[in-house]
Structure 1
């Protein structure tokens, strides 16, 4: 029996050490993904800038016509955008793998927290100690989803996009640092996420690039409303000041801090880059179902920044975010993205 107890104890300690090591590895990999995405975007834009400068020089010397120069610029822009999309897709997969690893770690920790092992003779081991404070910095997996639309002329009413059909979702990883040694109220929450914003235009319309302006036009065919939409993907770095009203216990004259066990309120913002823009159009023609996937920049701003807030209880919150910069670069009327939904922060 003593050998069995010893073997189980060694296995349990090995598992705990492995889980803790994986947590630290995830944090390092998250930072590496953020750096990789920034480098990818900057390098491809530098290459495109040089290519455009070379074309302008050739046009100026008369080696090629202005029309040929514009054609080459469009070609190179599409190639660079495709390169960015392909390379960042690899980073998206890496982040998704991290999220899956994080969920596995959480499930393992939950098992260790809620299960104990007892043996004859009074031997008992339990990994989770409810009377011990958690670390000053913890990590969470974040998942959010809800409704998405555009604010036009400071109004979201009478929108050109379906309220129920247009949506968003977000997934990522955050770190949560308690700011005080003696209080659980204030936390700094920061991390990295991918945001997906979708817009379903009304009245059988789609986006078109006309004279460097992105406007809605009639699709020309009878589209499937639920399957025709415009999507932007962003890699963002959110940061929030979180007020955590979780109760603080006192055990042996020492305060025990636990986060995400009560009401929470967060306010802050985000900055990020646009990784790709796509338009999906689906319709039927001559008995065939046709789906078009249009890729391009659609004059979407390369960078995004905005404000966000959430309020909720334990892991679940009502979540609101608003882009301070307009979605399109050259449109005469600014339109800003706004999203409202539910957010889940899993320790």
Structure 2
């Protein structure tokens, strides 16, 4: 009976010791978590006061807006470094606490140690804990680590999906008045474009100038008037009347892949957050882009459709049609936010050897989706 009482007492002491040790570990871990939260709050409050002092100097005319922005950015970077250093000290305490817990409670050969990590602004923070640690502690540590860094400015380079469409036509001998008596239907002739662009802010502390570049696929469609279609006669490509039937459709399409390049003026104003960081956003206000494009015409097709004895007939031709393979031109756009009015003009003639020079021109809407 005495042996039984002795064993029960030993087990009870072991259980109490383990519970006390676990409780102490959780309490210490929670203190470290509170310290990290306090450090972040202190540094952000200090930064806020520094920004207020800089704003007072700016309002008084003591410093210029450029100098004010530079001081705010410098202050934000210093506070971010301070947070990183002070938090790293608390992280070291947490690591040591875990090691002490492991050495006292676990056999090194067992799998009682686990690791987790979280990435913040490109930096990886590691959390080491034991299988007996409270899940709430790990959750709290992750939540606090997410609040460590101060927000940075927007990325200088962003990407967009571009889609455009509108009217398409040909200008003869460089005379824009020729559009009034065009050989092509105004609304039936159209263009489509889709692609991807990169938008890079050119100045570090100013948002006006951007370089916009990318890759696009363009489709220029022409539909001739008066029941006509294109015919290749040797080195010359010309419009002829389709004598046998009335055409339901006569579409002449050039498909191109091009590299567009524009200098974009973005009038989106900069903003300064509560944390004092200056942010440069794009596509939030009026925009103007001027530039051009260059690429290759990779396919030319002509589709004809008519009816004969109540039978619908479709006829499709593929070939070069004496069309210039290399294409290049000027383009520009102006508008607000994601939507702009878009114009393109091909500097190269559509056909290589035609006696009359004809250049493609397009006008429509363009959408740049961030």
- TM interval, shorter chain, is 0.5 to 0.7
Q: Would the alpha carbon gap of residues 220 and 265 (structure 1) be closer, same or farther in structure 2, given more than 3 Å must change? A: same
Provide the residue aligned with 1:234 in structure 2. Answer: 256
Corresponding residue for residue 332 of structure 1: 355
Distance 1:144 1:194 in 2: 10
Measured after TM superposition, the shift of residue 274 of structure 1 is 0.6
User: Is 2:271 the counterpart of 1:249?
Assistant: yes
**Cα 1:125–1:340 shift into 2, 3 Å:** farther
The answer on whether the counterparts of 1:165 and 1:200 sit within 8 Å (CA) in structure 2 is: yes
Q: Distance in 1 between matches of 2:228 and 2:221?
A: 14
> TM-score if structure 2 supplies the norm length?
0.59
> Which structure has the larger Rg?
2
Q: How far 1:286 moved relative to its partner?
A: 1.7
Q: 1:174-253 counterparts in 2 under 5 A?
A: 174-225=197-248, 227-251=249-273, 252-253=275-276
* Aligned partner of residue 228 in structure 1, secondary structure: strand
CA RMSD of aligned residues (A): 2.8
1:268 to 272, 281, 291: 291
Preserved CA contact (<8 Å) 1:131 1:256: no
**1:130 Cα deviation (Å)?**
12
Aligned partner of 2:341 in structure 1 is 318
Q: For the residues of structure 2 that align with 1:285 and 1:125, how far apart are their CA atoms? A: 75
1:308 and 2:328 are equivalent in the alignment: no
SS at match of 1:184: coil
The structure 2 residue matched to 1:135, chosen from 155, 158, 166, is 155
Equivalent pair of 2:152/2:277 in contact (CA under 8 Å): no
Distance 1:183 1:228, change over 3 A: same
1:301 counterpart SS class: coil
Secondary structure of residue in 2 paired with 1:321 = strand
Structure 1 stretches of 5 or more lacking a match? 1-9, 18-118
Gap runs ≥5 in structure 2: 1-115, 123-138
- The structure 1 segments of at least 4 consecutive aligned residues displaced by more than 4 Å after TM superposition are 123-127, 129-132
Quick one: distance in 1 between partners of 2:317 and 2:332?
33
SS of equivalent residue, structure 1 residue 150: strand
Shift, 1:133, TM fit: 2.5
Aligned equivalent of 1:50: none
Q: Structure 1, residues 181-203: CA drift from partner, whole Å, max 9, x if none?
A: 01010000000100000000000
TM-score normalised by structure 1 residue count: 0.62
1:159 alignment partner in structure 2: 182
Deviations 1:77-115 (CA, angstroms, capped at 9, x unpaired): xxxxxxxxxxxxxxxxxxxxxxxxxxxxxxxxxxxxxxx
